[in-house]
């Protein structure tokens, strides 16, 4: 991925990074990270640019998901090691100084890419293991990154309970699972998407709507070849869930084309609801007839939430367009 921009709202935080990851090689990956704040319509660069090889991950990896902003501080998750063997939580000041980092070697063998704030607590969620042996890890930290609590939950009825992505024990496709956890560690509900008819789906971000609903986004492998059904194209998808019951309110894939009619691979890495109800989404964009198979541009979409609202069926009905309506801008 050449570039990605992620937005978090109370103040808007932009994180743009460039990753050069050589998979299968022993040398460390390098990520160049820039953090900025968007204040009153202007961008003020308040952070340094630094290499995560030395400053974040101590031997490789990159900041890969997710981050939250609290006043003048950013909390982010960092992969540790070339293949992300361990997970670190990093606290960064508004001027780019790394204040503290905690590495948790026991939170490995899975995805640790969800972080959110509950009052004075920083909560990190993720999976460990796969199939019938999968566990959901919940780690609670204070603002100094000191551990307050840690709990692991096994899958109910042998269903994979995963906060981000994984594969089931018997079928090689991704599942998306939402969950609700009380402060006492009690699992309130589980949403398991094992019957997804469109194959692989990867959850990139969970956020909170103005009314408390869960907003989510990610990417979906779209089998657009009618002859063999091969999953050769990835599109973005967005959804909204009731945070109290786990009910899926609506879910939509975004199938895009460029102005010449070629498939344009779109993925979403963040979704936020503005106070007026509009949805703001961002992610990657790649044209599939390009010779460059690893370069992405970023794209930013703002749309009326009614565009995905209750007048639409809750099952997947793809939208095929070069943008989703509202105000759309492709960023390079």
Q: Nearest 5°: phi and psi at 157?
A: 55, 35
The pLDDT value recorded for residue 264 is 58
Question: What is the enclosing helix (H) or strand (E) of 321?
Answer: none
Question: What pLDDT score does 122 carry?
Answer: 77
* pLDDT at residue 190 in the model: 59
Q: Distances in Å between the alpha carbon of 111 and those of 2, 124, 136, 264, 299? A: 22, 11, 10, 27, 25
Among the ranges given (7-21, 94-108, 254-268), the one the predictor scored with the smallest mean pLDDT: 7-21
- Tell me, yes or no, whether 330 and 200 share the same domain: yes
Omega within 30 of 0 (cis) for the link into 66: yes
Tell whether 33 is covered by a domain: yes
Regarding beta strands 201-208 and 187-192, do their DSSP bridges make them parallel or antiparallel, or are they unpaired? unpaired
Q: What is the pLDDT of residues 99-114, one digit of tens each?
A: 888 877 654 444 445 6
Residue 62 within any structural domain of the chain: yes
- Residue 8 belongs to some domain of the structure: yes
The last residue of one of the domains, among 65, 87, 103, is 103
Q: Among residues of the chain, what percentage have pLDDT more than 90?
A: 0
User: Does a structural domain hold residue 174?
Assistant: no
Would residue 29 count as lying in a domain? Answer: yes
* Domain shared by 202 and 322, yes or no: yes
Which of 52, 82, 103 lies at the terminal end of a domain, its last residue? Answer: 103
Q: Return the top range by mean pLDDT from 32-46, 188-202, 232-246.
A: 232-246
Q: Are residues 97 and 203 in the same domain?
A: no
Q: Is it the case that residue 275 has pLDDT exceeding 80?
A: yes
In a domain, residue 180? The reply is: no
pLDDT at 258: 47
User: Residue 240, Cβ neighbours under 10 Å: how many?
Assistant: 23
In this structure, is residue 147 part of a structural domain?
Answer: no
Average pLDDT over residues 289-310: 61
Last residue of a domain, one of 58, 79, 103: 103
**Average per-residue pLDDT in the chain?**
55
CA–CA distances in Å: residue 36 to residues 12, 83, 225, 238: 9, 27, 41, 26
| Total number of domains in the chain | 2
Structural domain boundaries, residue 330: 196-332
Q: Could you tell me which residue, 16 or 273, shows the higher pLDDT? A: 273
Calculate what percentage of the chain has a pLDDT beyond 70.
29
- Residue 89's pLDDT band (boundaries 50, 70, 90)? confident
C-beta of residue 79 within 8 angstroms of C-beta of residue 89: no
Give the tokens for residue 318: 């793809």
Inter-residue contact 303 to 325 (CB < 8 Å) = yes
- pTM for the full predicted model: 0.47
pLDDT exceeds cutoff 50 at 154: yes
């Amino acid at each position: 991925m050449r570039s990605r921009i992620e937005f978090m709202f109370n103040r808007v935080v932009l994180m743009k990074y460039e990753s050069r990851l050589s998979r299968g090689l022993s040398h460390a990956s390098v990520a160049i990270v820039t953090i900025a704040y968007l204040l009153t319509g202007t961008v003020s660069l308040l952070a340094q640019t630094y290499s995560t090889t030395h400053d974040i991950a101590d031997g490789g990896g990159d900041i890969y998901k997710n981050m939250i902003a609290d006043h003048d501080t950013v909390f982010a998750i960092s992969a540790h090691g070339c293949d992300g063997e361990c997970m670190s939580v990093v606290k960064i000041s508004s001027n780019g100084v790394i204040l503290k980092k905690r590495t948790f070697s026991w939170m490995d063998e899975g995805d640790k890419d969800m972080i959110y704030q509950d009052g004075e607590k920083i909560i990190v969620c993720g999976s460990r293991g796969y199939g019938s042996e999968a566990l959901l890890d919940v780690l609670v930290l204070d603002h100094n990154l000191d551990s307050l609590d840690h709990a692991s939950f096994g899958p109910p009825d042998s269903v994979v309970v995963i906060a981000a992505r994984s594969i089931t024990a018997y079928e090689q496709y991704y599942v998306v699972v939402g969950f609700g956890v009380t402060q006492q560690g009690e699992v309130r509900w589980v949403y398991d998407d094992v019957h997804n008819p469109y194959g692989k789906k990867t959850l990139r971000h969970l956020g909170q709507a103005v009314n408390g609903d869960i907003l989510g986004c990610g990417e979906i492998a779209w089998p657009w070849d009618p002859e063999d059904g091969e999953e050769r194209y990835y599109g973005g998808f967005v959804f909204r869930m009731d945070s109290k019951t786990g009910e899926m309110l609506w879910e939509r894939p975004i199938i895009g084309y460029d102005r010449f009619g070629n498939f344009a691979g779109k993925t979403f890495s963040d979704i936020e609801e503005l106070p007026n109800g509009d949805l703001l989404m961002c992610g990657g964009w790649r044209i599939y007839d390009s010779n460059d198979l690893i370069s992405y541009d970023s794209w930013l979409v703002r749309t009326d939430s009614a565009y995905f609202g209750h007048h639409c069926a809750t099952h997947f009905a793809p939208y095929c367009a070069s943008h989703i309506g509202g105000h759309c801008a492709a960023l390079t």
